[in-house]
Amino acid sequence: MDGHVPIMVQAVVRFMERCPEGLIVDGTAGGGGHLRALRAGFPDRPLLAVERDPARAEALAEEFSGDGLTRVHHGSYTGIPGLLDHPASGALFDLGLSSLQLEDPARGFSYRVDGPLDMRYDTGSGDPLSVILESMEEADLADVIYRFGQEGRSRRIAREIISAMPVRTTLELRAAVTRAVAGNPVKVLSRVFQAFRILVNDELGHLDRLLLELHRWLIPGAGVAFITFHSLEDRAVKLLFRDSPFFMETDPPWQVPSREETRKNPRARSARLRTGVRVP
């Protein structure tokens, strides 16, 4: 598949239609698929697009440069409060990585193609995975694979990675993981690569900070939509909408893509759209 196909895009636009007038924030603008749909669906409303990947942010800034109502900012969604003059009336967070990043060998996200073991969303800050691995003990590696990849064979995999050090490319990491497991390694590889991507980008740390601050920059009645791809992030969002005094779940609290959508876009298979409303 070429490019990034946005997930449940009509459901997201319909959800935002129910929200009060005002600014909509796309906190993970990526390939711009949802952003374009929001722009088309709400031609008169201001949009703020935030993206942690500098190349993507630059491409979107250029694409929307003639549009006086769309602002594009490079950075993490944790920085949104500092970008706003007024609270927002809607926000979207489509978590994880885009197909554009996954399919680019130079970014090191995919076990299918050879590339440097990087995995950073923001290529201008922090260390690539190859450097992070050098300073990790076997037990810490196993812990990351178990917690962020939810992979039970974490100790064996960690042992193989340590014995293969230095591991500097995606295919070297794939070979080490494959040696550790019997049978078809595809599922294990996805879990291990997911675990390291979460580690490199401190994804759950950023998400936790976002969830803590979110109520401060939304007006009462504002809608928030999250597209989640694994249970760790989905659970954090679920608990916020269900238990926080600042939010309530919508009815239904979540939706999944149609069979038709997952057939056309296999990446949508693990996606869940979770929605909540900021209460007064």
User: Which residue, 59 or 162, is less far from ligand SAM as judged by CB?
Assistant: 59
* 89 versus 101: smaller Cβ distance to ligand SAM: 101
**5 phi-psi bin (left φ>0, alpha ψ -120 to 50, beta other):** beta
Matching residue, tokens 């007006």: 219
Query: Is residue 278 near ligand SAM by the rule CB under 6 A?
Result: no
CB of 65 to ligand SAM, least distance (A): 18
Binder among 16, 47, 50, 129 for ligand SAM (CB under 6 A):
50
Binding residues for ligand SAM, rule CB under 6 A, total 22
Which residues from 190-209 bind ligand SAM, rule CB under 6 A? Answer: 206
Q: Name, in order, each residue with C-beta under 8 angstroms of 165's C-beta and a sequence gap of 6 or more.
A: 133, 134
Burial environment of residue 191 by CB neighbours within 10 A (0 to 12, 13 to 18, 19 or more): buried
For residue 276, give the nearest of 251, 249, 255 by alpha carbon.
Answer: 249
Closest distance of CB 140 from ligand SAM, Å:
23
Residue placing its CB nearer to ligand SAM in the complex, 154 or 228: 228
Question: Burial, 160: exposed, middle or buried (Cβ in 10 Å; 0-12, 13-18, 19+)?
Answer: buried
Q: Provide, rounded to whole angstroms, the least separation between the CB of residue 130 and ligand SAM.
A: 19
CB of 255 to ligand SAM, least distance (A): 16
Best CA proximity match to 233, nearest among 279, 186, 274: 274
Q: Compute the least distance from the CB of residue 207 to ligand SAM, in Å.
A: 8
Is residue 30 involved in binding ligand SAM (CB under 6 A)?
Answer: yes
Interface region with ligand SAM, contact rule CB under 6 A, candidates 29-37, 153-161, 212-220, 247-255: 29-37
The residue (of 45 and 56) whose beta carbon lies closer to ligand SAM is: 56
Give the span between the Cα atoms of 190 and 88, in whole angstroms: 36
Residues in the chain: 280
Angle at 243 between CA 278 and CA 28, to 5 degrees: 55
State the nearest-atom distance from the C-beta of 91 to ligand SAM, in Å.
Answer: 12
Closest contact distance (angstroms) between CB of 93 and ligand SAM is: 8
Tokens, residue 95: 């978590």
Nearest to 93 by CA among 252, 208, 243: 208
Write the interaction track for ligand SAM spanning residues 52-81; mark x where CB under 6 A is met and - where it is not: xx--x-------------------xx----
* 91 versus 180: smaller Cβ distance to ligand SAM: 91
Site for ligand SAM in 80-139 (CB under 6 A): 94, 96-98, 121
Answer left, alpha or beta for residue 36, where phi above 0 means left and psi between -120 and 50 means alpha: alpha
Half-sphere exposure (CA, 13 Å, Cβ side) for 146? 12
CB of 260 to ligand SAM, least distance (A): 18
**Residues near ligand SAM, by CB under 6 A:** 4, 6, 27-28, 30-34, 50-53, 56, 76-77, 94, 96-98, 121, 206
